[in-house]
Amino acid sequence: MKEYWTSLASILGVFAFFQTILQTVFPPELRFASAKLFNKLFNCFSSYCYFEITEIDGVNTNELYNAVQLYLSSSVSITGNRLSLTRAVNSSAFTFGLANNDSIIDTFNGVNAVWEHVVTQRNSQTFSWRPLPDEKRGFTLRIKKKDKQLLLNSYLDYIMEKASDIRRKNQDRLLYTNSRGGSLDSRGHPWESVPFKHPSTFDTLAMDPMKKKEIVEDLQDFANGQGFYHKTGRAWKRGYLLYGPPGTGKSSMIAAMANFLGYDIYDLELTEVHNNSELRKLLMKTSSKSIIVIEDIDCSINLSNRKNNKKSVGSVSVNSRNFYENGVGEMRGVGEENGNSITLSGLLNFTDGLWSCCGSERIFVFTTNHIEKLDPALLRSGRMDMHIFMSYCSIQALKILLKNYLGCEEGVDLDDSVLKELEEVVEMARMTPADISEVLIKNRRKKEKAVDELLEILKVRAERNAKNGSVVRRENNGVGDEDDVEDEEQEKRALDSDSPKQESEIEDDCKEGSEEEEKIK
Ligand SMILES: Nc1ncnc2c1ncn2[C@@H]1O[C@H](COP(=O)(O)OP(=O)(O)OP(=O)(O)O)[C@@H](O)[C@H]1O
Ligand SMILES: [Mg+2]
């Protein structure tokens, strides 16, 4: 053992001796050149090639560096012992990273890639127009020369894609609005954003489970359909038209869609858009994997009544000449007086035309309480891929509300007899999920009271709706409707006296909704 240490010490001594000679005999330039030569020789004979991905590329931030860091975070969190931890702005999740000067092996298509995170001190004399971090960071990718083409063709694209998926998953989603009108922010963006934290999901949404399943599957097919859309030559986008009475869950459905897919929402306020080119610019500034929403489209602009000559509805009027001559509707927008306009063709181009394909993986959702007011051009097949009717509360939807609000499970907390009673009256009562949830939320700590009260209100409503049918018949025979006053009194007693406003609203909504449903039918 002693001999071993003696020989190791003499070898190190010889090394030190030669190094001193090299440093004194050879000038620094010569040493640098010889190191370069040695590197070249080494690279010639080495079976590996190396790629440097620095954090800052010249003066710009290198997107690939951030993408690699995120991409590796998923594998690093499982295998690494020493990790760096970060939490980005607008993110509620922590991201694991490769610690300084650590390395990891990643496998892609059966080929190994070694990543090393290299951190060195930045030369303080380096001149730059903008302040640079003290440390110089970068990744070194080492792969076998023979795998170079195989890996680089698809590996880097794969990393970018995965990283944006991880970023989306980790980051809070954003809700964008164009409420600033046409003005741009300091970065030239027409959209303003806030973190989107709506808790609505497909589990909390009360609607027919079959219909819900169909929508969820449709969304899933869309999100996984890149190959299909490419193969069939279709733009990777989809349109949904949600219609139905107020309080049936149209906005909640949009939030559920966004939460399910992890997409951002662009809430487009059409009355703030002055002309078609502004609409196009807004579209161009939306990101992929997003839902572009126009709520209450019938109120935003008038999309109906092609035959009427300049008939004004709300803030917008219709120019019938253009409808007939161009085959598309011309709607004068809020800015008409200033010579600005937004047309139906502009809106259709927005959802359907060439411009709608800038970017990809986008969903358009329009909502309306009055589908009958919409122009047939908007409703024709192929324009909005799915028309979804959000209806009054059915027994299936009611079961979901009872479960979510009161924790009542079918067959456990709810008797068959109570369920049967609810089933008998709920359809005829024509109450919206919003109305019913208000009744449930009020008594959510007392399950039985909540169910009893709901049942009572449903019965009164159902009875009145049934009678309204017969009143109409009796009115036609010259009979008055004295019973209605009594009914309303009875319902007032059933509803809690602390919400008089809601009561009248329910009344209005109910009437409006039933008329509307008739029209839709
Ligand atoms: N189908 C539903 N499932 C669960 N909750 C619902 C449903 N519909 C309505 N609600 C409740 O009622 C509230 C109002 O619903 P929402 O805003 O989604 O209705 P809407 O159809 O968009 O109405 P409007 O036509 O007035 O915009 C929601 O916050 C939610 O609590
Ligand atoms: Mg709504």
For residue range 98-129, list pLDDT tens digits in order: 888 888 888 898 888 999 989 887 766 555 55
Q: Determine if ligand 1 sits within 6 Å of the CB of residue 434.
A: yes
Q: How confident is the model at residue 486 (pLDDT cuts 50, 70, 90)?
A: very low
Closest listed ligand to the CA of 205: 1
Q: What is the mean pLDDT of residues 78-103?
A: 71
Number of Cβ atoms within 10 Å of the Cβ of 41: 10
pLDDT digits (tens, 9 = 90+) for 244-273: 999 999 999 999 999 999 899 999 998 888
Nearest alpha carbon to residue 272 among 216, 335, 321: 335
Its ipTM equals 0.98
Pocket lining: 300 vs ligand 1, CB cutoff 6 Å: no
Counts of helices then strands in the chain (DSSP H, E): 18, 18
Q: Is 329:323 a contact under the CB 8 Å cutoff?
A: yes
Counting ligand 1 atoms within 8 A of each CB, the residue from 248, 400, 440 with the most, and so the one to mutate, is 248
Which protein residues have a CB closer than 5 Å to ligand 2 (ion)? 250-251
Distance from residue 249's CA to the centre of ligand 2 (Å): 7
The predicted-structure confidence for 334-390, as pLDDT tens digits, reads as follows 344 444 477 777 788 777 777 666 667 899 999 999 998 888 888 877 788 999 999
Inter-axis angle of helices 276-284 and 344-352, nearest 10: 20
Instruction: Indicate whether residue 329 lines ligand 1 (CB < 6 A).
Output: no
Ligand 1 nearest atom to the CA of residue 205, by list position: 3
* Residue owning the nearest CA to atom 17 of ligand 1: 251
Give the β-pairing of 174-177 and 264-267. parallel
Structural domains in the chain, CATH included, are 35-170 (no CATH), 176-389 (3.40.50.300), 395-520 (no CATH)
Residues 6+ apart with CB under 8 A from 313: 302, 305
pTM, 2 dp = 0.66
Give the DSSP per-residue string, 147-176: GHHHHHHHHHHHHHHHHHHHHHHHBPPEEE
Q: Is 369 in the pocket of ligand 1 (CB under 6 A)?
A: yes
Higher pLDDT, 188 or 217: 217
Q: What distance in angstroms lies between residue 457's CA and the mean position of ligand 1's atoms?
A: 19
Answer positive or negative: Cα dihedral of 388, 389, 393, 394: negative
Q: Which residues contact 511 (CB under 8 A, 6 or more apart)?
A: none
The per-residue pLDDT for range 263-321, each reduced to its tens digit, is 999 999 988 888 888 888 888 888 888 999 999 988 776 544 334 433 333 333 333 33
Q: In which order are the strands placed within the sheet that holds 316-319?
A: 312-313, 316-319, 330-332
Q: Quote the longest CA-to-CA distance of the chain.
A: 124
The minimum-distance atom of ligand 1 relative to the CA of 242 is 21
Please give the mean pLDDT across all residues of the chain.
76
Rounded Cα distance between 259 and 295, Å, is 18
Residue with tokens 């109305």: 435
Is residue 201 scored above 90 in pLDDT? yes
Q: What is the pLDDT of residue 25?
A: 65
Ligand 1 centroid distance, CA of 254 (Å):
10
Backbone angles phi, psi at 289, to 5 degrees: 55, 55
> Does the Cβ of 242 fall within 6 Å of ligand 1?
no
Ligand 1 proximity of 245 Cβ (cutoff 6 Å): no
Other beta carbons within 10 angstroms of residue 371's beta carbon come to 20
Which is higher by pLDDT, 183 or 506?
183
DSSP structural state of residue 272: G
Query: Ligand 1, atom 26: nearest CA belongs to which residue?
Result: 246
Question: Is the backbone of residue 340 left (phi > 0), alpha (psi -120 to 50) or beta?
Answer: beta
Structure tokens that stand for 348 in this block: 């259709």
Tell which atom from ligand 1 comes closest to the C-alpha of 246.
25
